[in-house]
Amino acid sequence: MQRAREAAQHAYAPYSNFRVGAALQLTSGEIVTGANVENVSYSLTICAERAALVRAVAQFGPSIRIAAVAIANLNNAPSPPCGACRQMLAEFIEPDAPVAFPAADGVRTLPFREVLPLAFEMKLK
């Protein structure tokens, strides 16, 4: 969580001022962080979770596996991963990987399979 909080400090959020950071622990033990990057066209905004995921793939290659996820924001507001982030994480995460995120009652931690119980999946040959 500390690494996610540190990443949130680097968020670019001039429109919403909602600064989010994410930290992914890979099965290799490496930790990769990301921050949200907004755009005046809100649909082009990149969430912290996806920023960290893209960075992990760029740095370590497409065979990465995610062992744990931590999400933090500087606004003290609930912020579970959005649907797009959940689906992107599903491509690389272990089903039982813990996902920790700010919730209304404090930090909540759930296994990924509960965060996205009905992930769209396709078996690649």
* Residues annotated as catalytic (active site), given as ranges: 49
- Angle at alpha carbon of residue 18, lines to 114 and 12, rounded to 5°: 110
| Contacts for 91 with CB less than 8 Å, ≥ 6 apart | none
Backbone angles phi, psi at 120, to 5 degrees: -70, 125
- Residue 76 exposed, middle or buried by CB count within 10 Å (0-12, 13-18, 19+): exposed
Count of other CB atoms within 10 angstroms of residue 59 = 11
Which residues are registered as beta bridge partners of 110?
A: 99
Q: Answer for the pair 59, 50: CB distance below 8 angstroms, yes or no.
A: no
